[in-house]
Structure 1
Amino acid sequence: MTATTNAYVQPTTRLAIDELAPGMAKALNGLELAAQRTTLDKPLRELVKLRVAQINGCVYCVDMHSRDAIAGGDTWRRVNLVAVWREAPYFTARERAAFDLAEAMTRIADSEVSQQVWDESAAHFEEKELAELVWHIALINTWTRLGATARPWTLSGTEND
């Protein structure tokens, strides 16, 4: 009998975009700082970021936002089930509306954000919150697309962290 191993090789950095384009990196980091001072609660923001990171395939961002959600008090079960939020009973109507909008914005090349998705989001978020949510989704899409493309960051720690 042959032993099977599932050796994982961590992706290496393809392009050190932060160092090569520091002005752009600084501007994006400034936008991230502004986003941290919005009225949307952090647990919701982390779950939305996690969902977008999953869709865009950024291993660094999935890892970071999973950890941040748990560190912020969310449960392992909810974090683990974000990828299948439609079937999981553990999310509020407000969280579901945010996930739906995040998915629609992230997959905008496939279809526009439907009026139904927009109306459902508008029913659960005040106008200012909705504007902030749209910005958060746009920002995490930028981060995850940078991460999945250039792989400028690597995972740290151990599997058991």
Structure 2
Amino acid sequence: MSEQQVETKLLTVNVHLTGPVDGPTVLLLHGWPDDATAWTNVAAHLNEAGFRTVTPDLRGFGRTRFRSADTPRTGNSGILAHDAVDLMDAMGIGTFMVAGHDWGSNAAEAMAVGWPERVTHMAMLSTPSRLGGMPTPAFPQCQRQWYHWF
């Protein structure tokens, strides 16, 4: 495994890179309150199958840092999607697959909708039930998932 810091417009992103450099790329986006290490076992299986994995610590987590004090501190899935696309741009990766867990799945969905020419495949795990046209859950569950609306 290689760990490196990648500069984007807004962040210095801590990224875990594994697998063959020339393999198809899979971007793995963690959930809350995890970090990139949540994907370690999954990445190993993908690497064995010939895939390269790019697993960043999302903004506010792990060793990823904001480059400016003026950058909003937010977990908005649209902003996380922009962060991920900026990361792939900075790494020179044009097309890729993306898998997301929890709020990482929200960002994966936003990437697939916003950049369909870049995202070739998408997987969403532990996705909040409000996505994909599913009905809003009962109020007690909404209380537990309050952060998904931000």
Instruction: Indicate the structure with greater strand content.
Output: 2
Instruction: Indicate the structure with greater helix content.
Output: 1
Normalising by the smaller structure, the TM-score range is under 0.3
Larger gyration radius, structure 1 or structure 2: 1
TM-score for both structures, normalised by structure 1: 0.25
Question: RCO greater where, 1 or 2, for CA within 8 Å and sep 6 or more?
Answer: 1
